């Protein structure tokens, strides 16, 4: 795409045109060379959205809850963006069928942008693409951007780190979901949701979470609230929206929001720089010759590294 086309697409996105938003996110997802220019064009129009991560074990009700959240936010006249990270399928290039159906009720609402991204099989990976996709939605005037992901792998945790506020969904009768949650993702939860609160053992799960809450609260002065929801009805979603607003206010009041944005920018620069350096190294003309020398025993690997880096500097 030409710069003129990019400028037109950014203008279209800012005017709320779903087609322009979709096109820009596709460019980002494909790792188009235009992305760096696009990021420059978007920069003046970003920083407005509240980015909310929605994560939790498979089947816990993330998509249902996301859809209910859209409904609740729309009742409050908020413009909503959704980025659904599909962990399993690099080929479908879209949401799972069930998600599509659940989101369909919002499909004709021009205050909602829903987009799926595959977490594997793309250039630079999610780490590079997701922040840019968020910028597109932010510039398109979204007040809230929901990111739905299955909180299992490192790439999903990386995506969650892009959020201002992270919602961890758990549900009763899912065996060791608290146990699973402890393995890394718990520390990034700002709001706990006990979904499927219509199930009998919801009370027990709530008690377990309050136990964990007690352990966490010493560390900082935000105590993640526990919200009970039945996403299918939906009920409890208004309380969830309320908790998220409180968390955002806390981020702003304490300066924690600024710290998180700083950490995020740092992480993004590191990831992009590492990617750039790696690509240059792979393309360095001297690499093959150095490899032959190291393999043949005439050069040690460390000296080879020094020479390779020296070639990059030239
Ligand atoms: N009883 C009950 N069922 C629910 C509730 N929320 C969601 N479900 C059901 O749970 C199933 C899974 O819901 P999804 O929203 O697809 O869950 P998910 O976490 O997005 O699933 P994955 O994306 O596959 O990880 C569906 O059959 C929902 O109808 C709830 O509050 N109560
Ligand atoms: Mg889902």
Task: Say which residue, 130 or 314, is predicted with more confidence.
Answer: 130
Query: Which residue minimizes the CA distance to atom 1 of ligand 1?
Result: 196
Q: Is the pLDDT assigned to residue 255 strictly greater than 80?
A: yes
CA of residue 281 to ligand 1 center, whole Å: 45
Query: Which residue minimizes the CA distance to atom 32 of ligand 1?
Result: 196
pLDDT band for 141, please (50, 70, 90 cuts): very high
pLDDT (0 to 100) of residue 94: 41
pLDDT band for 69, please (50, 70, 90 cuts): very high
Mutation choice for ligand 1 from 53, 56, 59, CB with most ligand atoms inside 8 A? 59
pLDDT (0 to 100) of residue 219: 55
- Nearest atom in ligand 1 to the alpha carbon of residue 67 is 15
- Nearest atom in ligand 1 to the alpha carbon of residue 98 is 16
Of 18-32, 82-96, 132-146, 230-244, give the lowest mean pLDDT range: 82-96
pLDDT band for 92, please (50, 70, 90 cuts): very low
pLDDT (0 to 100) of residue 185: 60
CA of residue 271 to ligand 1 center, whole Å: 33
SS in 3 state form for the chain? CCHHHHHHHHHHHHCCCHHHHHHHHHHHHCCCCCHHHHHHHHHHHCCCCEEEEEEECCCCCHHHHHHHHHHHHHHCCCCEEEEEEECCCCCCCCCCHHHHHHHHCCCCCCCEEEEEEECCCCCCHHHHHHHHHHHHHHHCCCCEEEEEEECCCHHHHHHHCCCCEEEEEECCCCCCHHHHHHCCCHHHCCEEEECCCCCCCHHHHHHHHHHHHHHHCCCCCCCCCEEECECCCCECHHHHHHHHHHHHHHHHHHCHHHHHHHHHHHHHHHHHHHHHHHHHHHHCCCHHHHHHHHHHCCCCHHHHHHHHHHHHHC
pLDDT, one tens digit per residue, over 182-233 is 555 667 789 999 999 999 888 888 888 887 777 665 556 888 899 999 999 9
Residue 221: what are its φ and ψ, rounded to 5°? Answer: -90, 10
CA of residue 64 to ligand 1 center, whole Å: 6
Pocket of ligand 1 (CB under 6 A): 58-64, 98, 150, 195-196, 198, 230-232
Mutation choice for ligand 1 from 104, 231, 236, CB with most ligand atoms inside 8 A? 231
In Å, how far are 17, 105, 153, 188, 232 from 159, measured between CA atoms?
A: 25, 26, 10, 11, 26
């Amino acid at each position: 795409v030409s710069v003129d086309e990019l400028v037109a697409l950014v203008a279209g996105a800012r005017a709320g045109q779903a087609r322009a938003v979709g096109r820009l996110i596709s460019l980002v997802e494909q790792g188009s060379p235009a992305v760096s220019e696009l990021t420059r064009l978007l920069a003046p129009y970003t920083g407005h959205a509240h980015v909310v991560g929605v994560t939790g074990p498979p089947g816990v009700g993330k998509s249902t809850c996301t859809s209910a959240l859209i409904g609740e936010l729309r009742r409050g006249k908020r413009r909503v963006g959704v980025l659904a990270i599909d962990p399993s399928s690099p080929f479908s290039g879209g949401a799972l069928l069930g998600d599509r159906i659940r989101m369909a009720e919002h499909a004709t609402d021009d205050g909602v942008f829903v987009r799926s991204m595959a977490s594997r099989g793309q250039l630079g990976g999610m780490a590079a693409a997701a922040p840019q996709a968020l910028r597109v939605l932010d510039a398109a005037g979204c007040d809230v951007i929901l990111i739905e992901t299955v909180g299992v792998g490192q790439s999903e945790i990386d995506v969650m780190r892009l959020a201002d506020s992270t919602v961890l969904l758990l549900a009763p009768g899912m065996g060791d979901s608290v146990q699973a949650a402890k393995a890394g993702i718990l520390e990034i939860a700002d709001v706990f949701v006990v979904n499927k609160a219509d199930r009998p053992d919801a009370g027990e799960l709530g008690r377990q979470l309050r136990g964990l809450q007690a352990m966490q609260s010493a560390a900082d002065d935000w105590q993640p609230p526990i919200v009970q929801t039945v996403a299918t009805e939906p009920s409890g979603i208004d309380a969830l929206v309320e908790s998220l607003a409180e968390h955002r206010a806390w981020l702003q009041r304490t300066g924690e929001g600024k710290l998180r944005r700083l950490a995020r920018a740092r992480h993004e620069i590191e990831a992009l720089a590492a990617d750039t350096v790696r690509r240059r190294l792979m393309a360095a003309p001297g690499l093959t010759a150095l490899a032959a020398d190291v393999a043949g025993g005439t050069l040690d690997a460390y000296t080879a590294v020094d020479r390779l880096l020296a070639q990059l500097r030239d």
